[in-house]
Amino acid sequence: MPIIMNTIQVKRKAANIDELDLTLLGVPRPEAADGECVIEVTSAGVNPSDVKATLGLMPHAVWPRTPGRDYAGVVIDGPAALMGQQVWGSGGELGIRRDGTHGKYLRVNAQSVRAKPATLSLLEAGAVGVPFITAYEGLRRAGMPKAGSVVLVGGGNGKVGQATIQIATALGARVFAVERGAEPYRGHASGPVRMIDASREGIADVVRAETGGHGADIVYNTVGSPYFEQANLAMAIGATQIFISTIEKPVPFDIFAFYRGQHTYVGVDTLALDSQACANILDALAPMFASGALKPFPVLDDYTYALADAREAYRAVLQGASERVVLKP
């Protein structure tokens, strides 16, 4: 019987995507140990952190391993209560400190497995993961938007930006979103989104002018340094700014404005959230997806790849794909 090549393995660091040593392996179906389940993966979102880890840019990565953090699929071995269920999940350890989701089979702790919402297809569910988990965790640590509160999102058309806007508008917040040019908001929202063109509008000027001088109660700065100064100027008294990445590491910091503004800064690193922590966040998000308040990212044919084309999927993400990139093992 021929061996079916069904799993990606990365063996060593690489200077760039063309030098990446990706191997397509034939891996037999594993058996679940006590307390585990085996999932046959149907779809697996590809995140920037997945690609950076394959290139060797994550300090805790092990070699060799199968990349990938996000998944959706069907339980084919494990506790009887889970057998046959269509499930979704993610984990900061997956694909970095252990084998991940870019393969046919995934063996995980059964307690970290959750049934996906019925409103999502398996293909869509596998693309939710990291962006929505990152968005939710940042907002949770900032106290969550309230109805009528003001949320400013730097990088509003990025996937974390879109997830943040979905959650914030679903909770009744007023949302401003920033991009570097004139472009409409491209994602789902439950309310209006005021797009700010940072190339010709002052971010803080717009937010202050259109909130009667109040400013933003929560700033979700998904890009870091480029918007740091303007985001600080836009913050209301007692506001929180959330960071998940940056371009420049050192930035000018006005301590006086910080303490006079009673501001808080929150750093979010979802690599520190294991599969159980991510499952808890998906528990909070699932009812919002079930009700239609949140929508999955569109999964388009041009951005869906077979495992044999994983290098091109990783390249698309590294080059800043505008749509969610998904592997179908």
Query: pLDDT tens digit string along 209-248?
Result: 999 999 999 999 999 999 999 999 999 999 999 999 999 9
Question: What pLDDT was estimated at residue 1?
Answer: 53
**What letter would DSSP give residue 247?**
S
11 vs 55: CA distance, rounded Å: 10
Q: Tell me what percent of the residues of the chain surpass a pLDDT of 90.
A: 98
Residue 263 has pLDDT above 90, yes or no: yes
Q: Between helices 159-170 and 129-141, what is the axis angle to 10°?
A: 50
User: Which residue type occupies 13?
Assistant: K
Interval 70-101: pLDDT, tens: 999 999 999 999 999 999 999 999 999 999 99
Determine the pLDDT at residue 3: 66
Report the amino acid identity of residue 167. I
Q: How confident is the model at residue 40 (pLDDT cuts 50, 70, 90)?
A: very high
**Which pLDDT score, from 0 to 100, does residue 4 have?**
82
Q: Residues 189, 157, 319, CA angle at the centre, nearest 5°? A: 145
Residue 83: per-residue pLDDT:
98
59-68 pLDDT tens trace: 889 999 999 9
Mean pLDDT (the chain) is 97
Cα–Cα dist 216/179, whole Å = 17
pTM for this model (two decimals): 0.97
User: What integer pLDDT is reported at residue 60 of this predicted model?
Assistant: 86
The dihedral through the CA atoms of 106, 109, 110, 113 has a sign that is negative
Furthest C-alpha separation in the chain? 71
AA letter at 193? V
Domains of the chain and any CATH numbers: 7-128+296-328 (3.90.180.10), 131-270 (3.40.50.720)
The helix/strand/coil state of 29 is coil
Task: Return the exposure string of 92-112: e unless at least 16 CB atoms fall within 10 Å of the residue's CB, then b.
Answer: bbbbbbebbbbbbbbbbbbeb
In this prediction, residues 110-120 reach a mean pLDDT of 98
Q: What is the pLDDT of residue 29?
A: 95
